[in-house]
Amino acid sequence: MVNLLDSIYEYQSLLHRSESMEIPLDAEERARLEGLRRLLRGDYLGLAANQNSDEPRPVPVQLTVPGGFATGEVRSMSAKGMALVSNRPISEGMRTILRVADPLRGFEYVFPGRVVWRSGRILGVAFDGLPSKTPFLVPTDSWRPGRVRFGPGRSRPLVA
């Protein structure tokens, strides 16, 4: 999942820049975009639960819905979007924001998207906008033993 999410994030970031023309891509970035486009042609069906299993392991996702948030599981990922199962019904055409966390590396990926198809609880969400990748787990320090904090690392707590 790690390499795939990184690759999709990088592809979507470069694609957004190339389409927006705010900052033109240099030759190396254009080559990287084309390489990622070729690499990400197929779909991804999750990670195996263990080395001896062909059964895909679900990848949790959070998404925005009218009036709040929903949770779900990613069923497949590609350069263009994700198919997921959601615990809340969402209409076709609705814009949403997908959040996929990688707890092993301590990053969260946020992808803006739009629901392009729906079949029961299964949604197809096309990426639509500039994604973000941010660290979310920071090792604890001496002032809060055994705790993990969100945000940039600090040696002492912030005081308001």
80-98 per-position pLDDT tens digit: 999 999 988 789 999 999 9
pLDDT digits (tens, 9 = 90+) for 132-149: 999 875 554 544 444 545
Domain borders along the chain are 2-135
Q: Which of 1, 2, 25 is nearest to 13 (CA)?
A: 25
Higher per-residue pLDDT: 65 or 153: 65
**6-36 pLDDT per residue, tens:** 889 999 999 998 888 778 899 999 999 999 9
Architecture of the CATH domain 2-135: Beta Barrel (2.40)
pTM: 0.73
- How far apart (Å, rounded) are the C-alpha atoms in residues 121 and 31? 38
pLDDT at 113 over 90: yes
141 Cβ contact partners less than 8 Å away, ≥ 6 residues apart:
153, 154, 155, 156
